[in-house]
Amino acid sequence: MSDIIWGTVTKIISTNSFEMNVSHQKDTNQDGYQDVEEINFTEINIPSIPVDENSRNISQIEENLKDKFVKCEISGRNSENRLVCVCLLYTSPSPRDKRQSRMPSS
pLDDT of residue 46: 85
pLDDT of residue 89: 85
Q: Which pLDDT tens digits describe the chain residue by residue (106 residues)?
A: 689 999 999 999 999 999 999 999 999 999 999 999 999 999 888 888 888 888 999 999 999 999 999 999 999 999 999 999 999 986 554 444 444 554 444 4
pTM of the model: 0.81
pLDDT of residue 96: 47
pLDDT of residue 90: 66
In angstroms, the CA 47 to CA 6 distance is 20
pLDDT of residue 98: 46
pLDDT of residue 25: 95
